[in-house]
Structure 1
């Protein structure tokens, strides 16, 4: 689903305008982004939980040359769906 399709679906389900639905989507994305930046979890009922995870530093390989490289540790975003949502997908 593209962003425009998501906005149209939210507008239709919420019986609101596309502009209001788009603003709501932008605000939700900003709130989630801000919370993750500060290390908080965000739980969306019936959908799942956004959180951050730490990836350890590791050795990798350059696929073109085969040369060994060091991949640094970093923090990544993680999403865990609710069991009911996971069951629908599986």
Structure 2
């Protein structure tokens, strides 16, 4: 499912226009990105949690030359599925 398919499905479920649904989806994306950029997390009970994790620097290997390379640390977005979502997927 791509973004257009998602907007269509959401519009049908919520009985909204596609244009309004697209605005809602865009607003959701922007709020999530802004909150994660500020180091916060968003918890949607039953669905899941969006948060930022810290990655430690590590040493990897170049697969062609087998030489070690330094991989810098940083931050990465993370989504952890909630119980209800896990239960639906594992039926």
Q: Deviations over 1:19-69 (max 9, x none)?
A: 111110000000000000001011123311100101110000112222210
Aligned residues: 90
Residue in structure 2 matched with residue 5 of structure 1 by the alignment: 5
- Residues of 1 paired with 2:45 and 2:10: CA distance? 16
The alignment's TM-score, normalised by the length of structure 1, stands at: 0.93
Residue in structure 2 matched with residue 51 of structure 1 by the alignment: 51
- Residues of 2 paired with 1:63 and 1:27: CA distance? 41
The alignment's TM-score, normalised by the length of structure 2, stands at: 0.92
Question: Post-superposition shift, 1:5?
Answer: 0.7
Q: Specify the SS of the correspondent of 1:33.
A: helix
Q: Which runs of 5+ in 1 are unaligned?
A: none
Query: Could you list the runs of 4 or more consecutive aligned residues of structure 1 that deviate by over 2 angstroms after TM superposition?
Result: none
Q: Specify the SS of the correspondent of 2:40.
A: coil
Question: Post-superposition shift, 1:72?
Answer: 0.5
**RMSD of the alignment, in Å?**
1.0
Q: Which runs of 5+ in 2 are unaligned?
A: none
- Residues of 1 paired with 2:45 and 2:5: CA distance? 22
